[in-house]
Amino acid sequence: MVDVVNTLAGGTGLAEGTGFIINSSGDILTNNHVIDGAQSVTVQIDGAGPQLAATVLGYDPIDDVALIKINDISGLSLKVAPLGNSDNLTIGAAVVAIGNAYGKGGTPAVVSGTVADLDQSITASDGGTSENLTGMIQMNADIVSGDSGGPLVSAAGKVIGMDTAGTETGASFSGQSSTTQGFAIPINTALQVAQQIETGQSSGSINVGPGPYIGVKVQDPTTGTGALVDVVEANTPAASAGLQAGDVIVSINSTQLTSSGDLSTALETLHPGESVQIGWVDASGQQHTSSITLASGPPR
């Protein structure tokens, strides 16, 4: 496994998580939310040794899966995680969750438990954004902040899932009891996303390479609906369309935006190079629409 450090675009801070190596080429599976908004990514194998530069190959915000790759594997002795088959998992099976708990680094944290349920649907929220995840493995092993993207291992020593969310990650879960402690993405699901990324072709919510980029920073408006523009970055599609700070984006294609989070959701199935219709209202109340071509930016 590896510790993953995400230096956020714009120098706004760091995000830390976990991943695991799936082949001898240095490809690593992790959660999309671990590398979301990355300006750069580094990894450290087993919490020891040098920080290694890595590249985001692609990601899927719907399934919360990302594939990254160590840039230079020369001189490295990579240990590939033994992968299992999550279709064979049963309720009550013993599991072990491994991760970079609380982003502390060093020796990986290990917690054991059992599978409490399968094929679960949750809405996970970190207080700022939320995501709807389906087909999840529910377990009673604690998943804490920093564990995201780490391997969930069976009693046979095979990776059968990817740790994703838990009651101690700072996340909350809609429709779940307070005794729920952790959720993982089945390894079969994560590998299907990775295989699509490896084809080099973006499809649906799976994006290969950088993400779709408009060039605005937004927040919820104090009144009304939409995404209030705080900043329009120079030489971006938004700037070319004439958007200014204080404007409120109200639609992307036929999707009406009720909050700033809806802007991210509307971009989930779009890709750099695609043309979209953007609608906004300026500070004087005048409505505008423009066709823009999405640029490339940090992963979503």
pLDDT band at 4 (very low <50, low <70, confident <90, very high): very high
- DSSP state, 102? G
pLDDT tens sequence across 248-294: 999 999 899 999 888 988 888 888 999 999 999 999 999 999 999 99
Given 27, 33, 36, 262, the catalytic residue: 33
CATH class of 211-297: mainly beta
Q: What is the C-alpha to C-alpha distance for residues 118 and 66, in angstroms, rounded to an integer?
A: 22
Sequence letter at residue 94 = A
Question: Nearest 5 degrees, angle CA 89-CA 32-CA 177?
Answer: 55
Section 207-235 average pLDDT: 91
pLDDT tens sequence across 120-162: 988 876 545 677 889 999 999 888 888 999 999 999 999 999 9
Residue in the block written with tokens 């979301």: 36
- What is the per-residue pLDDT for 174? 36
- What is the per-residue pLDDT for 211? 82
User: CATH second-level architecture of 1-209?
Assistant: Beta Barrel (2.40)
Sequence letter at residue 31 = N
This prediction's pTM: 0.82
Active site residue 64: yes
- What is the per-residue pLDDT for 97? 94
> What does the H/E/C string look like for 119-171?
EEEEEEECCCCEEEEEEEEEECCCCECCCCCCEEEECCCCEEEEEEEECECCC
Residue range(s) in the chain whose domain bears CATH number 2.40.10.120: 1-209
Which pair of tokens denotes residue 115? 């599978």
Active site residue 148: yes
Q: What is the C-alpha to C-alpha distance for residues 189 and 135, in angstroms, rounded to an integer?
A: 9
pLDDT tens sequence across 152-189: 999 999 999 999 988 654 443 333 334 447 999 999 99
pLDDT tens sequence across 14-55: 889 999 999 999 999 999 999 988 888 999 999 998 999 999
- 275 CB contacts (<8 Å, ≥6 apart)? 291, 292, 293, 294
- What is the per-residue pLDDT for 280? 97
Is residue 148 within 8 Å of residue 33, measured between CB atoms? Answer: yes
Question: CA nearest 19: which of 164, 201, 170, 198?
Answer: 164
Question: CA nearest 133: which of 198, 92, 180?
Answer: 180
Which pair of tokens denotes residue 44? 């450290």
Given 86, 145, 148, 205, the catalytic residue: 148
Section 72-100 average pLDDT: 95
Question: CA nearest 54: which of 72, 32, 36, 37?
Answer: 72
Which is it for strands 227-232 and 295-297: parallel, antiparallel or unpaired?
unpaired
pLDDT tens sequence across 200-215: 888 888 989 878 889 9
Window from 77-86, 111-120, 164-173, 190-199 with minimum mean pLDDT: 164-173
Given 64, 142, 147, 163, the catalytic residue: 64
Residue range(s) in the chain whose domain bears CATH number 2.30.42.10: 211-297
Is residue 153 within 8 Å of residue 82, measured between CB atoms? Answer: no
Question: CA nearest 295: which of 211, 220, 223, 204?
Answer: 211
